Each structure stands twice: as structure tokens, then as C-alpha cells.
């Protein structure tokens, strides 16, 4: 039993599991002719979910260079094409628009703001002599894209309102957040939980809480633990009572609220948020996944400082606690679907020279150590990689003061700044981004230490790192004028781990 399932009402849990089993039975029945694999793609803000999905489809459809992806490398994959998606009530992932943005306009597509889906059908020849004799194989790959912030809502299902309040305010008052949270905490101090319920007071507190969460997510802080997730991307629920609540200053073991009070009002809306927002997402999307990739912008957290790194570690632990990991079997895939493979990917590896990629991977592995151990204990396979779904830079060697340095070449986005210079989005530059620490533990010692010396050491190392955002690359064309697929770093390794065994 995971953290999400622990404290849920037994009758509610039984009902939910029955509905999940029916949904899984329907999926299994539709997959009798052609099997399907539901792959969840998520990550916290700016981690590159949309770019990853677009690049994955583009490389499979256009025959990209995928030397580690055995089905493609061995020429057993004979084709891949988009199909109508199976879920009519789920928005389609706008693949074509995202390709146009990156290839034609050389701009990055807009980030994920809702659940979206895309079905890709892969035709292949089995690597097994026996299965090859039975004829060609086919797999429906259903790609489910959803914001990582929504994933951080799932643990709320096991928390009552008082526990949510205690957790949220403990974070708000912690070092690294208290200054950002000061306006909200000031308004909260003036609020009386036992006062009569008041719509204006509820709206003011909710607005202050949302402003605090938005400030935490800004580049200067880059914090990750920001539930409730829909507060930052409300969609058509914007302004609804289910999104108009905030934590109140009450103890975690507080007595039940009196009817008609501000606290009772907030508690009612918190429960409505769980019922009408979180639980449907879990039931209709998350609990039906077979495999999962979690994209992580480690470099952004390092840039923001030790509080961002510590917050990211907690967020990744919460993320994996919400998963339902386990070994895959025919019966379990029908009745109690489990995620049997989870891949954590440190994105934007193209912002570093390849000599630093192993270090980036080691830092992510350290970030997810505790979460990874829990998933393996449940029987799931877990892997960690450093990758760039779309490679925006090239590598070079430059001379600086007589010393040769490994550099990257790319076109910074308009408005990016380095050493006092602002770039216009047209000029290509060469830069040395600096080196990540060779020992990832040294980074975490700085994060966990409260001493001024450790903090000064971390900040000195941080100053040596320079990360810019680059425009998507200009795609090469063949002699016949055909545009090549989007370049990448280790997208093929990700594909091999996530779906390689299903094409064997």
C-alpha cells in the first residue's frame, strides 16, 4: 500500500478499485487484436515534457538516428504512424503544431497545461525466430502528457484539511520560503479560523496563497513543492469554489470545525478539490499507466541554489510515493494495473559539454535515491539518465588564456544575458558552461549544511556555472532535400528502456 492509498476511506477505495478494474478490462479487451502500452510523460515546470513528446514521435515517424534503440538499430521497426487516439474525451497532444514551432520558427512550444494524449502505432519484426514466423508485430503506444504539478496533488488524497494546513504552513515558514511567503503569512495572521464564513475573506486568502505559490515557482527561486497543482494552472476551473481555499493556521490534530465558520468553509472546499479535481485525474489517467518517464530540470535547481535542490529532492520523493509500482503480469495488467518501469531523466544535457553528462546523471541519481529504493522494493525497474530530447547546441573546443576548454555552440534565445551582453536570438556563440561537481555528495553536503562556510563554498561553485537557454537547432537536409529528424542526446536510450522489451 502506498502513501496515496493509506488513509483513504475503505468504501471509497473499494469503489475506486472496482472502477479501475472495469477501465483496465476495457483497455485489455480493446488490445486483444493489437496490444497497447500507456506511457505517462510528466515533469515539473520547464522540464521539457512537450519537447520530449514531440521529439519522440518525430524521431520514430521520420526514422531518426536511434543507435541504442534495438528495434530501430536492428531495422526491425518497419514503420510508425499516428493514429486517432482511443479516449474521445481527452484533448489530443498538438504534435504537428509543436513540430512547426521548433522546425519552422525555431521557438520552443508552450508548456503542458492539461492532460493530452496521442496514439502512435509501431510496426515491427520480432527478434525471436518463433514469433517472426507468426507474422509482423504491432504495438499501440499511447502517450499521456500531464503536468507534474498535478502529480504532487495525489498525496493530498490521504491527507485531511488539518494535515494539509500544517504541511503547507511548515513549508511556507521554512528557510528559503519565509520571505516569499511573508505577504500571505501576514494576511493569514489576521484571519480567525473560527470567524463566520465569508466569501470575500476566502477569496483574499486564496489569492494570497496562489501569489505565494507562483513566486516560489519563478526562476529566482525555482521551488518544486507547490501543491495544490491546479492553483497555478486552473484552466476552466478558475474562480470556482473548489479552487478558492487556502491553509489556515490550525494544528494538525485540531478538533472538528464548527459549522458556518471560515475553517469549515475552507475544509469543505479542500474536500471538493480532492473529489472533483484530484480523484478523477487519478482514476481516469494516472492509475491506467503502464510505464512512466519523469523529466527533471536539475540545472535550473542548481542555478537557483541549495533551497531549490532540497525542495526538488522532496518533490521527487513525493512523486514516486504517488506511483503504483510493481511487476508486470497478464492478470495484474487487467485487474490492478501497475507501473513496471520508471525512468528519471535529467533534461537539457545539451547545456553542458558531454564530459559533464555523467556528473549530471549522478546528481539526479542522488536526488531520487530514496524514491528509487521504494520502487525497486515493489518490483518496478528504475533507471536514471541525462538527456536532451532536442539537442540545441553543438560541441567545440575554444582557447581561453592559452588553455583549451570544452565549449558548446548555440544560438541563445532573444533576451538571454551573459557577462553583461544581451543576445538578439540570431547570433551563434561559443561558451564554456563550467563544470558540475565531480562528487555529487559534495553538492548535497552544501545543501544540508547550515554553516556559512558551506553556503559560501556552494555559491562559489555556482558562480562558475553558466546556463543559457538556446533556440532549437536548424535541421539539416539530405541531398534529396528531405528534412532530417530532430537531433537529440540519449533519446534512444530512453526509448530502449521504456518500450524496447515490448518490441523484442
Choose the weakest-confidence range: 109-118, 223-232, 471-480: 471-480
The answer for residues whose C-beta is within 8 angstroms of residue 83's C-beta and 6 or more apart is 119, 120, 121, 140
Tell which wins on pLDDT, 396 or 3.
396
Average pLDDT over residues 6-26: 54
Q: Cα dihedral angle (49, 54, 59, 61), rounded to 10 degrees?
A: 140
Residue 445 predicted with pLDDT over 60: yes
Q: What is the pLDDT of residue 11?
A: 44
Q: What is the pLDDT of residue 483?
A: 64
What's the chain's average pLDDT?
86
The conformation of residue 469, written as its DSSP 8-state character, comes to: -
Q: Spell out the alpha helix ranges (H) of 355-481.
A: 357-367, 369-377, 440-448, 452-463
The answer for residues whose C-beta is within 8 angstroms of residue 104's C-beta and 6 or more apart is none
- Tell me the pLDDT tens digit for each residue of 446-484: 666 655 666 666 666 666 677 889 999 998 765 555 567
Choose the weakest-confidence range: 131-135, 151-155, 213-217, 425-429: 131-135
The pTM of this model reads: 0.87
Q: What is the pLDDT of residue 3?
A: 46
Which three-class secondary structure state does DSSP give residue 426? coil
Share of the chain above pLDDT 90, in %: 57
Q: If you search the block for the grid coordinates 510515493, which residue do you land on? A: 321
Q: What is the pLDDT of residue 166?
A: 95
Q: What is the pLDDT of residue 306?
A: 83
> 175 falls in which pLDDT band (50, 70, 90)?
confident
Q: What is the pLDDT of residue 57?
A: 97
Greatest alpha-carbon span in the chain: 76
- Tell me the pLDDT tens digit for each residue of 367-382: 998 778 777 777 889 9
State how far the Cα of 118 lies from the Cα of 112, in Å rounded to an integer: 14
Residue 344 predicted with pLDDT over 90: yes
- Residues 316, 374 contacting (CB under 8 angstroms): no
Residue 303 predicted with pLDDT over 60: yes
Q: What is the pLDDT of residue 138?
A: 96
Residue 183 predicted with pLDDT over 60: yes
Residue 44 predicted with pLDDT over 90: no
State how far the Cα of 99 lies from the Cα of 450, in Å rounded to an integer: 46
Tell which wins on pLDDT, 24 or 226.
226
Average pLDDT over residues 129-133: 65
Tell which wins on pLDDT, 31 or 303.
303
Residue 6 predicted with pLDDT over 70: no
- Tell me the pLDDT tens digit for each residue of 414-424: 999 888 899 99
- Tell me the pLDDT tens digit for each residue of 54-83: 999 999 999 999 999 999 999 999 999 999
3-state helix, strand, coil in the chain (%, to 5): 45, 15, 40
- Assess whether the previous peptide bond of 228 is cis (omega < 30° from 0): yes
> 148 falls in which pLDDT band (50, 70, 90)?
confident
- Residues 349, 387 contacting (CB under 8 angstroms): yes
Q: What is the pLDDT of residue 235?
A: 77
- Residues 25, 334 contacting (CB under 8 angstroms): yes
Amino acid at each position: 500500500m502506498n502513501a496515496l492509498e493509506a488513509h483513504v476511506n475503505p468504501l471509497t477505495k473499494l469503489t475506486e478499485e472496482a472502477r479501475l478494474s472495469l477501465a483496465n478490462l476495457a483497455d485489455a479487451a480493446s488490445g486483444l487484436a493489437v496490444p497497447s502500452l500507456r506511457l505517462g510523460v510528466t515533469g515539473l515546470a520547464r522540464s521539457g515534457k512537450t519537447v520530449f513528446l514531440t521529439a519522440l514521435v518525430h524521431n520514430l515517424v521520420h526514422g531518426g538516428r536511434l543507435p541504442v534503440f534495438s528495434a530501430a538499430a536492428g531495422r526491425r521497426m518497419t514503420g510508425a504512424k499516428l493514429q486517432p487516439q482511443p479516449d474521445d474525451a481527452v484533448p489530443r497532444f498538438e504534435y504537428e503544431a509543436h513540430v512547426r514551432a521548433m522546425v519552422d520558427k525555431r521557438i520552443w512550444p508552450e508548456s503542458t497545461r492539461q492532460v493530452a494524449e496521442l496514439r502512435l502505432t509501431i510496426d515491427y519484426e520480432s527478434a525471436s525466430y518463433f514469433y517472426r514466423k507468426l507474422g509482423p508485430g504491432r504495438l499501440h503506444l499511447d502517450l499521456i502528457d500531464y503536468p507534474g504539478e498535478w502529480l504532487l496533488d495525489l498525496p493530498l488524497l490521504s491527507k485531511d484539511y488539518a494535515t494539509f494546513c500544517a504541511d503547507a504552513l511548515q513549508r511556507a515558514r521554512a528557510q528559503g520560503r519565509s520571505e516569499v511567503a511573508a505577504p500571505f503569512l501576514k494576511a493569514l495572521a489576521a484571519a480567525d479560523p473560527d470567524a463566520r464564513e465569508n466569501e470575500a475573506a476566502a477569496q483574499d486568502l486564496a489569492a494570497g496563497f496562489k501569489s505565494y505559490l507562483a513566486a516560489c515557482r519563478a526562476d529566482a527561486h525555482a521551488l518544486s513543492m507547490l501543491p495544490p497543482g491546479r492553483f497555478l494552472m486552473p484552466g476552466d476551473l478558475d474562480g470556482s469554489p473548489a479552487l478558492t481555499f487556502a491553509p489556515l493556521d490550525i494544528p494538525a490534530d485540531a478538533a472538528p470545525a464548527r459549522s458556518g465558520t471560515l475553517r469549515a468553509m475552507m475544509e469543505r472546499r479542500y474536500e471538493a478539490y480532492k473529489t472533483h479535481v484530484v480523484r478523477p485525474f487519478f482514476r481516469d489517467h494516472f492509475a491506467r499507466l503502464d510505464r512512466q518517464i519523469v523529466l527533471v530540470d536539475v540545472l535550473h535547481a542548481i542555478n537557483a541554489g541549495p533551497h531549490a535542490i532540497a525542495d526538488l529532492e522532496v518533490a521527487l520523493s513525493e512523486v514516486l510515493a504517488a506511483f503504483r509500482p510493481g511487476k508486470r503480469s497478464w492478470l495484474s495488467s487487467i485487474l490492478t494495473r501497475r507501473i513496471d518501469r520508471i525512468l528519471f531523466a535529467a533534461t537539457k544535457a545539451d547545456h553542458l559539454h558531454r564530459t559533464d553528462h555523467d556528473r549530471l546523471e549522478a546528481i539526479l541519481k542522488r536526488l531520487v535515491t530514496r524514491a528509487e529504493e521504494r520502487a525497486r522494493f515493489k518490483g518496478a525497474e528504475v533507471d536514471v539518465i541525462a538527456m536532451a530530447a532536442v539537442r540545441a547546441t553543438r560541441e567545440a573546443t575554444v582557447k581561453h588564456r592559452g588553455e583549451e576548454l570544452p565549449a558548446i555552440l548555440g544560438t541563445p534565445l532573444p533576451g538571454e544575458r551573459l557577462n553583461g551582453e544581451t543576445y538578439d536570438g540570431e547570433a551563434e556563440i561559443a561558451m564554456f558552461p563550467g563544470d558540475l561537481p565531480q562528487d555529487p555528495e559534495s553538492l548535497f553536503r552544501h545543501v544540508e549544511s547550515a554553516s556559512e562556510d558551506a553556503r559560501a563554498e556552494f555559491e562559489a561553485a555556482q558562480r562558475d556555472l553558466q546556463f543559457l537557454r538556446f533556440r532549437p537547432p536548424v535541421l539539416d537536409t539530405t541531398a534529396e532535400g528531405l528534412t532530417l529528424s530532430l537531433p537529440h542526446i540519449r533519446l534512444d536510450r530512453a526509448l530502449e528502456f521504456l518500450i524496447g522489451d515490448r518490441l523484442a
